[in-house]
Amino acid sequence: MTGDPRGNGGDDLSGRLRRLDEKLDAREAEEMRKQPAPSANAADRSGFSGGLKLSGDFVGGVVAGFAVGWAFDKLTGWSPWGLIVFLLLGFAAGVLNVLRSIGAMPKYGERRDK
C-alpha cells in the first residue's frame, strides 16, 4: 500500500505543498476579513496620543510654575506669594502651549500672515 493513508490522492511532495499553500492562503484571507480596518485603529491611536500631548503640555506648565514658585518662596521667605504668582504664570504658560500645539497661535518666532 503505497498510496496516501487518508485517501488524498497522491504521495508526491509537490501536490502536498500545493494543497498546503491553498489552505494557508484561505486561512490568511479569512483572518484578514475578521480584522478591523487599520485606518480606523490608527486614527484612534492618533487621537489618543494627541490628547496625551496636549494634556502633557498643560500639566507641564502648571507643574513648572509650582516648582519655581515653591523654590522662590523657600529662597526669599515671601510665602505664599511666590507660589501664587508662579502658579498663575505656569497656568498661563500651559494654556499658551496648548494653543500653540493645536495651531490656534503661531509658534514662538513665527509670523502669521493672513
Q: What is the rounded distance in angstroms from the CA atom of residue 49 to the CA atom of residue 103?
A: 16
**Per-residue confidence in pLDDT tens, the chain, 114 aa:** 455 555 555 568 888 889 999 999 998 888 878 776 656 566 677 888 889 999 999 999 999 999 999 999 999 998 899 999 999 999 999 999 999 988 887 777 777 665
